[in-house]
Each structure stands twice: as C-alpha cells, then as structure tokens.
Structure 1
Amino acid sequence: MVHERVQAENVDVTILGTELTFRNGRKAKNRFLKAALSEKLSTWDDQDPSKRGIPTQELINIYDKWGNGGYGVILTGNIAVDPVRISIKQAALLRQTTTSNYVMVAIEASAGKVWQYSARRQA
C-alpha cells in the first residue's frame, strides 16, 4: 500500500544551513545532524574479550566520509566501555588505555564537532 504524501505549504529551509550556537558556547556550522547508529563494524571474538570492539578500517572509512560530509553535528554509534557487557556484537569499545582511531578520524574530519554516545555501565 502506497500512502500519499501529506500536503503542506512550502517553507523556507535556509535556516538548516545556518550556524547553530549551543548554550555551552559550542557551535555547529549548520543544523544537519548525523544520528547515532549501531554500525557493527568493530571486531568481535566470542571467547576473548580483549579482541572485542577494535575499530576496523571500514568503520574508520565511514566516519571519515561522514566527517567530510558537511554535517553540523555527528553523533557516534553506541560505544561500549566494558568488553564483557556489550549491548551488541561488533560494537566499538573504548578502553581506558587506548584512543579509538575512528573517533579521532571523525573528530579531525569534522573540526571537533563529534559528540560521543556511550553506553553507561549498569550497576
């Protein structure tokens, strides 16, 4: 079944291309936001937690493309902080001893306009 589009009056969308200043003083170059996704492009090993959540080249590449895509704000996918309690297989894992390459690539490509969405460990 195909639904007809709801009729609406034309509106000026140029505001979407204008800079947005947040209350904390940070600025986005426009009002386009790349939403958080579960990319599932990191490593996974059922037996060895130390081999989980390592960003693959595919993940680095996609964040590089998004970072250079002109978004005003980029929200990362779910980033786990515990190698045992991961919500989905192949989620990226942020370890205290390392910096994730794909987050760094996204930050660099978007001039620092990346906000990390990270799951919090449940007590």
Structure 2
Amino acid sequence: MMSGKKIITSIIAGLSVLGLGLVVNPPAASAGKPDCNGRLCAYGEINWVGLLSPASATRGVIFNFSGLANDKTSSWSNETAVDGEYYSGANRGGSRFCANYRTANGWVGSGANDIFSSFYLFSNTTTCS
C-alpha cells in the first residue's frame, strides 16, 4: 500500500505528464509597488527598484524632478484614483507618457528610459489616453 506522500507525488507527476501544472506554493499577492502606498511613483531601475519620487503630488499641480532624480526613471506605478502623465521636459514640456490610474509599468522601454523630467496628476480619471 502506498503512503499518502507517495500518492500525492504520483498525482502531481501524472498531472505534469498531462500538461496540467500545479502550483504548490503560489507567490503572495502584492499590496502595491515598493514604497508607493497609493501615490504616483517613479523608480530609477526596472521592476520598481530605486524609488525616485514618493510623489504625494497634488492633483492639478506640476511636479518637476530635481537634482539626481531628473532623467532617471525606468519604471513607474500609479496607485492613485486618477490618471497622470510623465513628461520628458520640465513643466509638462516635451514628449508625454500616459500613466493611467491603478496601473504600473515595470520597464518604460528604451524610447522613454531615463528621460522623465516632470509629471502631472489630473483631477479626473478619464483625461489621459
């Protein structure tokens, strides 16, 4: 007679042969990106590493990156309830990049990497597209 552990191992092996995966220890759900806590945040590295702006930005007010944070963004997270936009220039100048509410981008891509200089949070959720 097989032990309980051997039976479970046999079942898992059988499911694998059939192409049916079984996740024994699924990853824990994330409560948000590191240190962002419901804000619009920029990170200096891909996959939300190296927080540049713990932006508690006010809706309708331009936020300009300054000093070492300027032109360094590689990923972002918008955990607010409104859309936002990042810009390649100060004061909403230059190229515009949309950051829809409750979304995140772990890599902005080579065309947008390290060029963000300012961002803006809109007063409603439907402005950015």
- TM norm structure 1: 0.24
- TM norm structure 2: 0.23
Q: Whose radius of gyration is greater, 1 or 2?
A: 2
More helix per residue: 1 or 2? 1
